[in-house]
């Protein structure tokens, strides 16, 4: 049985994103003094959460598929031979080796994360603008 390898091309972006998320939460008091910064901060948090969801699920899937393939290595020598070659082992090998989407998720997940966070930023900016307009119209002349 070969050891389960952590795919660093997925782990490093996940760790970097998680570190940025922690820093954003620690610095939120300083950032959240202005209302337009609140919108930006919220959209940044949404961006990181969506990105971490996609990359983290790809990381989990990769580790799970390695573990699943290792279950078929009966003599634990890291090579599949003889009675270890079964249709189930072939499916497990196919799932592990033939998934380009999972391997490039650290790049491709930037797009949906950017789209969702842009929507949050636009909605937040509209909310701030609407609140200012309503607040200013309530003032006596």
Tokens of 137: 């119209």
CB 64: neighbour CB atoms within 10 A?
13
The ranges assigned to domains in the chain are 8-137
What pLDDT does residue 35 have? 58
pLDDT tens digit sequence for 1-42: 568 888 999 999 999 999 999 998 898 887 777 656 788 889
The answer to pTM > 0.85 is no
Residues of the chain with pLDDT under 70: 1-2, 34-36, 134-141
pLDDT value of position 59: 94
pLDDT of residue 134: 67
Enumerate helices (H) and strands (E) in the chain, giving the number of each: 7, 0
């Amino acid at each position: 049985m070969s050891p389960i390898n952590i795919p660093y091309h997925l782990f490093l972006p996940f760790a970097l994103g998680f570190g940025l998320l922690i820093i954003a939460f620690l610095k939120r008091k300083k950032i959240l003094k202005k209302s337009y910064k609140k919108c930006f901060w919220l959209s940044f948090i949404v961006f990181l959460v969506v990105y971490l969801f996609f990359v983290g699920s790809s990381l989990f899937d990769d580790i799970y598929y390695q573990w699943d393939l290792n279950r078929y290595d009966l003599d634990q020598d890291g090579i599949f031979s003889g009675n270890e070659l079964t249709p189930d082992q072939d499916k497990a090998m196919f799932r592990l080796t033939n998934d380009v989407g999972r391997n490039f998720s650290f790049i491709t997940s930037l797009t949906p994360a950017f789209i969702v966070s842009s929507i949050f930023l636009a909605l937040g900016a509209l909310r701030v603008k609407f609140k200012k307009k309503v607040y200013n119209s309530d003032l006596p002349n």
